[in-house]
């Protein structure tokens, strides 16, 4: 992560194939992230449901902190790559 890239939090599910896929890509690209499993964290689960209009959709990715954030839910690979670049990460 360079000085201009946004921090990344991944809200995922324990047995979620989409979460495993996104985390696998992030690991392969050496993108730093924080993984929060909503199965183990009721507050995080409520956040994901709120952000996704009542759905428990994982993975939900939050780029940034403070006032500027980019939210991404269940991204396709191309979408994930594009948002990572916008967030300042190099692949």
Look at 88 and 37; give whichever has higher pLDDT: 37
pLDDT of residue 50: 97
Selection from 50, 61, 65 nearest residue 6 by Cα: 65
Q: Give the model's pLDDT for residue 2.
A: 52
With cut-offs at 50, 70 and 90, classify the pLDDT of residue 91. confident
Report strand pairing: 34-37 vs 8-12: parallel
| pLDDT, tens only, 56-88 | 999 999 999 888 899 999 999 999 999 999 888
Per-residue pLDDT tens digits for 5-18: 889 999 999 999 99
């Amino acid at each position: 992560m360079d000085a201009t890239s946004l921090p990344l939090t991944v809200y995922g599910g324990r047995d979620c194939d989409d979460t495993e896929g996104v985390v696998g890509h992030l690991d392969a690209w050496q993108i730093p992230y924080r993984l929060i499993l909503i199965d183990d964290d009721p507050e995080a689960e409520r956040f994901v449901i709120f952000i996704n209009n009542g759905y428990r959709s994982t993975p939900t990715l939050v780029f940034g902190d403070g006032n500027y954030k980019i939210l991404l839910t269940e991204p396709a690979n191309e979408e994930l790559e594009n948002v990572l670049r916008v967030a300042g990460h190099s692949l």
